[in-house]
Chain A
Amino acid sequence: MDFCKQFNDRTKDIILETPTPVAISIKPDRTFTFAVKSPPTSWLLKRAAGVAKGAAQPGKEVAGTVSLKHIYAISQMKAKDPVMSHIGLDKICKSVIATAKSAGIRVVH
């Protein structure tokens, strides 16, 4: 209950039904802190490509296409995550491209 209130508070600016991963750390005395992260990369990629589902057989099928500029925009969102704070934007882009590959989304220039 406590978590729900705080979570709703922190995410009130986000459009409803956006999947929002959260990392919670709970202390032994049942107090907690949590960090709200950016939506899952594959979800963002599918939205950017305009597809509902990724490819059933990635590598053999292509579900959608996305430009490097989309990748850059997605990486900028990912870079705000606390996990990614020490990783350069170029490495995050590489990571997003790898996610696109496993989702069957083709990346073009």
Chain B
Amino acid sequence: MYTRVLFANAGVRSSWNAAQQRVFSRGFASSLVSQTAETNASSDTQKPVKKYPASLATHGTVLKGLNIYKQGKDPVALKDEEYPDWLWTLLDEVPFEEKTVREQQRLTRSKAIKEANFMKSRK
């Protein structure tokens, strides 16, 4: 840890004794971060892993209409596990609190504009 000793103006220095001298110590946050990481890892069970329903297109379903080649065949649905994990998250709706600030502002603003327009259009 890097320790820096700061002194006040010269006139005050003489009246301080060693115990009273303020020592500002600067350390890196690494130790604190690793502590929080450990606690987060151990409490992984608190954050629920979302379960997605089984796909309606079950294994072996022919995905009709998606073949454009003369010599080809329509693709066949694979098992749910064979698709990448991110595929099932694509239909998730992000709640308002978890959106980016930019997106939140955009939504609030457009809602306010629509309400103002509605109030203006009333007779």
Q: Does A26 contact B (CB under 8 A)?
A: no
Say whether, besides A13-B71, A39-B68, A67-B55, A72 and B86 are in contact (CB < 8 Å): no
Q: Does A1 contact B (CB under 8 A)?
A: no
Q: Name B35-91 residues within 8 Å CB distance of A.
A: 52-57, 61, 63-71, 75, 77-78, 83-84, 86-88, 90-91
Q: Does A84 contact B (CB under 8 A)?
A: no
Interface of B is mostly: loop
B75, A73: Cβ atoms under 8 Å?
A: yes
Interface residues on B, range: 20 to 34
A residues in contact (CB < 8 Å) with B: 13-15, 18, 38-39, 44, 47-48, 50, 67-74, 77, 89-90, 93-94, 97, 107-109
- Which A residues are CB-close (under 8 A) to B83? 68-69, 72
- Which A residues are CB-close (under 8 A) to B78? 69
Q: How far is the CB of A107 from chain B (nearest CB, A)?
A: 6
Q: How far is the CB of A39 from chain B (nearest CB, A)?
A: 6
- Which A residues are CB-close (under 8 A) to B52? 109
Task: Give the complex CA separation of A107 and B90 in angstroms.
Answer: 10
Say whether, besides A73-B75, A108-B56, A18 and B87 are in contact (CB < 8 Å): no
B68, A68: Cβ atoms under 8 Å?
A: no
